[in-house]
Amino acid sequence: MMSEVSSRGRRWPAEWEPHRATWLSWPHNAETWPGRLEVVEEASCEMVRAIAPGECVEIQVNDVGTADRARKLLRGAGVETLERARFRGVPTNDAWVRDYGGVFVFEENGRGGERRVLLDFEFDAWGGKYPPWERDAAVAEQMAQILRMPREGIDLVLEGGSIDGDGEGTILTTQSCLLNPNRARAGVDRSRGRLEAPLEEAFGVRRVWWLGDGIVGDDTDGHVDDLTRFVAPGRVVTSVESDPQDVNHAVLVENRERLEEMVDAAGRRLEVVELPMPPAIYGPEGRLPASYANFYFANAALLVPVFDVDQDHVALEILSSVVSDRPVIPIPAQNFVLGLGAVDCLTHQEPVLIPSGT
């Protein structure tokens, strides 16, 4: 069931709705994964192998050499649907396309139908943490050019991983990220009250709900795709930490309590399913933001990050029980997370516009 559209005739489809393609940026930044880039590429092949049976995979590369290397690796990994992988010469600084890629919305076209519009928010590498980011900030515009699609530039710093939607008018986000002063711009009020209106306008939503803080090690200042995710209208999974001594315990308890008070745009109280956290995983600079909530809905599968720990099978069983329309495929993410992200961070859905009446 689809929600009513906004006054602009706009709707942001949920991640589980049908895609034309998934966009990736092939990993190439050795500073993000020191000494681990090759194994990160291997894990990227596993993602493509899971995604390609159900949709195209648009892979952004800096140059022809990177495209040739990626093709060779994908063939070696047994990707049988390589004809669905399209390599695009779109240079990037890093691989986190979820955050800098354009966000696709559906909008009434004035002729009784709909069109797709690409929203291009400002990107500044999570509050200016990782220069340079000029190439990443230019990606959304290039996506629109490749697809010959209308683009709407929005004068607001916003990363794709900071929001999650149900496709029916409700968005989840966090105060720690969206209200963070490091995303501020002169003349732009980033208070909660002032941000909700532009979010509602851009995405065609009627309800914006706020969680609190993110997990330790998350350099994005608390992206929601490591915390709580919609898995269906009216239903979310949320990360919980059972060990009261763990530094993430109190933060996740508070977020869990906030969810109990939430009613979505359709008037439903959210059904909340708890998802365990993996045990603490550490990198050279401290604890890493490992989370099973950083999964990705592809057409043919739900891709779930796993970390080679006992909790993996528990998380996979829970997600299999709540997502029944596609197989759940584990993706080795213990090397991804060394770069402080995982599966959802590295993917970006391009929804397909299905004509009404079909």
Task: Pull the structure tokens for residue 172.
Answer: 């989840």
Total length of the chain: 358
Instruction: Report the pLDDT value the prediction gives residue 358, as an integer from 0 to 100.
Output: 52
Q: What is the rounded distance in angstroms from the CA atom of residue 64 to the CA atom of residue 74?
A: 15
Look up residue 67 and give its DSSP letter: H
In a domain, 4, yes or no: no
Q: What is the rounded distance in angstroms from the CA atom of residue 75 to the CA atom of residue 183?
A: 41
Domain that holds residue 242: 10-351
Sole residue written with tokens 């559209």: 5
Average pLDDT on 215-240 reads 98
Q: What is the rounded distance in angstroms from the CA atom of residue 116 to the CA atom of residue 351?
A: 9
- Number of domains composing the chain: 1
Question: What is the three-state SS of 69-126?
Answer: HHHHHHHHCCCCCHHHEEEEECCCCCCCHHHHCCEEEEEECCCCCEEEEEEEEECCHH
Q: Closest Cα to residue 225, out of 165, 171, 163?
A: 163
Sole residue written with tokens 């489809």: 13
Domain CATH code at residue 30: 3.75.10.10
Instruction: Report the pLDDT value the prediction gives residue 3, as an integer from 0 to 100.
Output: 38
- Assess contact for 256 and 240: CB atoms under 8 A: yes
Instruction: Report the pLDDT value the prediction gives residue 4, as an integer from 0 to 100.
Output: 40
In a domain, 1, yes or no: no
Four-CA torsion 337, 105, 262, 159, nearest 10 degrees: 30
- Assess contact for 90 and 143: CB atoms under 8 A: yes
In a domain, 358, yes or no: no
Contacts of 279 (CB under 8 A, 6+ apart): 309, 311
Contacts of 266 (CB under 8 A, 6+ apart): 3, 168, 169, 170, 233, 234
Contacts of 135 (CB under 8 A, 6+ apart): 91, 92, 93
Of the listed 45, 56, 177, 345, which one is catalytic? Answer: 345
Instruction: Report the pLDDT value the prediction gives residue 188, as an integer from 0 to 100.
Output: 83
In a domain, 188, yes or no: yes
Taking the alpha carbons of 255, 259, 261, 264 in that order, is the dihedral positive or negative?
Answer: positive
Four-CA torsion 185, 190, 194, 196, nearest 10 degrees: 110
CB atoms within 10 A of CB 132: 10
In a domain, 357, yes or no: no
- Assess contact for 40 and 336: CB atoms under 8 A: yes
Q: Closest Cα to residue 124, out of 156, 81, 151?
A: 156
pLDDT by residue (tens digit) across 153-212?
999 999 999 999 999 999 999 999 999 999 998 888 899 999 999 999 999 999 999 999
pLDDT by residue (tens digit) across 113-150?
899 999 999 999 999 999 999 999 999 999 999 999 99
In a domain, 215, yes or no: yes
pLDDT by residue (tens digit) across 55-109?
999 999 999 999 999 999 999 999 988 999 999 999 999 999 999 999 999 999 8
Give the pLDDT band (50/70/90) at residue 1.
very low
45 is catalytic: no
In a domain, 72, yes or no: yes
Strand order across the beta sheet in which 228-232 lies: 228-232, 235-240, 271-276
Instruction: Report the pLDDT value the prediction gives residue 203, as an integer from 0 to 100.
Output: 98
Q: What is the rounded distance in angstroms from the CA atom of residue 8 to the CA atom of residue 28?
A: 39
Task: Pull the structure tokens for residue 308.
Answer: 């080679």
Indicate whether 277 pLDDT > 80.
Answer: yes
Taking the alpha carbons of 32, 37, 42, 48 in that order, is the dihedral positive or negative?
Answer: positive
Average pLDDT on 306-317 reads 98
In a domain, 327, yes or no: yes
Instruction: Report the pLDDT value the prediction gives residue 8, as an integer from 0 to 100.
Output: 66
Indicate whether 9 pLDDT > 60.
Answer: yes
The amino acid occupying position 280 is: A
